[in-house]
Amino acid sequence: MAERESRTGGSIDVGGRYDPIEVLGILAAALFWGWLGLRWLNDWFGGLFVREGQAFLPPSTFEFLPALAFAVEFAPELAAGVWLTVLLTIVGIALGFPIAIVLAGARVYGRTTRWVALGYIELVRGTPLLAQLFVLYYGLGLSSFIRELPGVGTVSVIPEQAVWVAMIGFTINSAAYQAEYLRGAIESVDPGQLRAARAIGLSQIDGIRYVVLPQALRYAIPGWTNELIYLIKYSSLAAFITVPELFNRASSIASENFRYLALFSLAGLFYLALVLTATNLTSRLEDRVAIPGLARRDERLRERSQ
Amino acid sequence: MSDPLLSVRDLRKSFGEEEVLRGIDFEMERRDVQVLMGPSGSGKSTLLRCVNRLSEPDDGTITLDGEDTAAMDENDLRRQVGMVFQGFNLFAHLTARKNVSLGLRRVRGFSKSETEERAEEELERVGLADQADSYPAELSGGQQQRVGIARALAMDPKLLLFDEPTSALDPELIGEVLSVMGELADDGMTMLVVTHEMGFAREAATDLLFLDDGTILERGPPTQLFESPEHERTATFLRRLTDLEAGQHG
């Protein structure tokens, strides 16, 4: 019991003492996300604290360390791009998720629908994401349709049309990948449990809903984490349909001052911070929803290798 | 009381080319405990699954309480015919209590408090009230199977099917499950049991059916079949079981 509590509470508490690395990580995360949050607030409300895109402290403060001064100068503009990177990732994952559940369900349990789902998944997984974005943006005239919708491009908090197209593209794409991770997870739930659910009189759909899915979603977390990490990085492809996200901003600043290495290194640090945050959160989630008595997948593997 | 609770007539079932059940006939009165024995592949599990339509029969009629099961809604039929599995098949993400509660809530539509009360009762009945909040992986095999029985009992079945309920258990855990089954039999539950536990058959069974190659080769009270079987195949099979049991327990 004590063991379970310490696991669900995160792993800060190691035998009553604090793990210094964990504490350091949390401080760094708080600093990073606190700063990002303030940047976003500042820019959304047209310069709440400082002028849009300007550093909170003048870069000249850090003259003694040129690399730091450089980072301080350009980080604010990249931070505005991080917002779009985060937005695209979260929207793609979140909207793709319910679609993925339906697709995975059809793949495993469907008859005709199985082939429809398979066709969709293979089409999306078999073609480049960039090509998909191009088709949506240039080929289908989606952007001119969205531009006509009320508010788009005129109200500042509503993103411009390219962002909408990217969100649609990532949703379509992520749904297919998430569906495959979910399918594997559904298939790893012992089919005897669904049989037992049917044997007490639950319908197939209720058996899936109350017995199979709650377990499959847990088992899907490691694979789903991969999808999240990929999407954070693949969201940079939105740059090619003019979305000013992190990669796009880094490359356009660099095209003016030619400091490609420095800017892409800085952008890389931002991506790294996003990915570390994501993996940390999903790992905590996995701990929190772990079924008592059943070892987590990585724990089982560790035991086997010993 | 004139009608039998369960009547099976000329039941047939094939998987591909192979005919697994080749014309099964038998009846069960209320409070009957019938034990099915027979070599593996003789069709025992398939027979059970045809009764609650986890497998659809190819031919023949099965009536439950005078009603043709083929015409019933399958979920409604299964609510009335409980099943206990060889591999327990507990819902791994739910506590013992929730395993029993799920059907009460989602099939029988009990309120939260009714469900709570009834789940408690059923776990009490199988001697696991103190383990109500344990998850399946935290329970022994014998305890898991008792939760499986409680889960089936919660649906108030007219008939309980047992598909080799103890054959996945370590020998020292078989007893606790058999004693729960014995109590159910004493309470008047109608039970159709696939098992090779001779002791249970001898003490609890009203009838023993010997299945061989998709047909019922021989039937009768357990003492009769154990002591003076008509067919050589029955005799050989039971002798082998006796030897096995002597080796295990002796």
What is the domain partition of chain B in residue ranges? 6-249
- Whether B107 and chain A come into contact, CB under 8 Å, resolves to yes
Q: What pLDDT score was predicted for residue B148? A: 98
Q: Do A190 and B89 touch (CB under 8 A)?
A: yes
pLDDT at A13 over 70: no
* Min distance A218 CA to chain B CA atoms (Å): 10
Distance of CA B65 to the CA centre of its chain: 18
Res. A4 pLDDT band, cuts 50 70 90: very low
User: Chain A contacts of B91, Cβ < 8 Å?
Assistant: 193, 196-197, 210-211
Residue B40 has pLDDT above 90, yes or no: no
Give me the mean pLDDT over the B120-132 stretch. Answer: 97
- Selected residue of B74, B79, B93, B163 to mutate for chain A interface (largest A Cβ count, 10 A): B93
Instruction: Give pLDDT, residue A147.
Output: 78
Structure-block tokens of residue B208: 């023993």
CB B225 within 8 A of CB B208: yes
State the pLDDT at residue A241: 92
Q: What is the pLDDT of residues A59-77, one digit of tens each?
A: 889 989 999 999 999 999 9
Residues A203, A264 contacting (CB under 8 angstroms): no
| Residue in chain A nearest B94 by alpha carbon | A291
For residue A108, the distance in angstroms to the closest alpha carbon of chain B comes to: 18
pLDDT, residue A105, reads: 96
> Length of chain B, please?
250
Q: What pLDDT is recorded for position A3?
A: 41
Q: Three-state DSSP class for B154?
A: coil
| Class of the CATH domain delimited by B6-249 | alpha beta
Specify which residues A18 forms β-bridges with: A13
Q: Measured between CB atoms, which of B87, B89, B103 is closest to A202?
A: B103
Q: What is the pLDDT of residue B37?
A: 95
Query: What does the pLDDT look like over A107-153, one tens digit per residue?
Result: 999 999 999 999 999 999 999 999 999 999 988 877 777 877 877 76
Cβ-in-10-Å burial (0-12, 13-18, 19+) of B141 comes to middle
Tell me: pLDDT of A87 over 90. yes
Residue A280 is encoded by which pair of tokens?
Answer: 């940390």
Mutate to test the interface with A, among B89, B108, B149 (most CBs of A within 10 A): B89
Measured between CA atoms, how close is A99 to chain B, in angstroms? Answer: 24
Percentage with pLDDT > 70 across chain B: 98
Tell me if chain B has a CB within 8 Å of the CB of A1: no
**Whether A11 contacts chain B with CB within 8 A:** no
pLDDT score recorded for residue A9: 44
- pLDDT at residue A17 above 80? no
Provide the shortest C-alpha distance from residue B244 to chain A (in Å).
29
Phi, psi angle pair for B98, to nearest 5°: -70, -30
Q: Is the pLDDT of residue A159 over 80?
A: no
Q: In chain A, what percentage of residues exceed pLDDT 90?
A: 74
pLDDT band at B60 (very low <50, low <70, confident <90, very high): very high
Query: Which residues of B are less than 8 Å from A198 in CB distance?
Result: 54, 75, 78
Given a cut of 60, is residue B165 above it in pLDDT? yes
Shortest Cα–Cα distance, B150 to chain A (Å): 11
**Do residues A238 and A133 touch, judged by C-beta distance below 8 A?**
yes
Nearest CA in chain A to B48: A199
Structure token digits, residue B6: 């369960």
pLDDT number for residue A5: 42
Within 8 A by CB and 6+ apart from A206, the residues are: A197, B106
Distance from the Cα of A136 to chain B's closest Cα (Å) equals 41
Sheet order of strands, B67-68 included:
B18-28, B6-15, B59-64, B67-68
For residue A88, pLDDT beyond 50: yes
One-character DSSP codes across A62-78 = GTTSHHHHHHHHHHHHH
Q: Given CB atoms, is A294 within the 8 Å cutoff of chain B?
A: yes
pLDDT confidence of residue B90: 98
Residues in chain B closer than 8 A to A214 (CB atoms): 93
Q: For residues B250 and B178, what is the distance between their CA atoms, to the nearest angstrom? A: 18
Please tell me whether residue A152 adopts helix, strand or coil conformation: coil
Contact B54 A199 (CB under 8 A): yes
pLDDT top residue among B248 and B186:
B186
Look at residues B44, B2, B52, B59 and name the one whose alpha carbon lies nearest to residue B27: B2
pLDDT tens-digit map of A34-57: 999 999 999 888 888 898 888 999
> Which residue of A190, A201, A293 is in closest CB contact with B103?
A201
pLDDT, mean over chain A: 89
Q: Looking at the complex, does the CB of residue B89 fall below 8 Å from at least one CB of chain A?
A: yes
Q: Please, what are the domains in chain A? A: 2-305 (1.10.3720.10)
A1 has pLDDT over 60 = no
CB pairs under 8 A between A and B: 80
pLDDT tens digits, residue range A211-264? 999 999 999 999 999 999 999 999 999 999 999 999 999 999 999 999 999 999
| Interchain pair B155, A291: CB under 8 A | no
pLDDT at B2 over 70: no
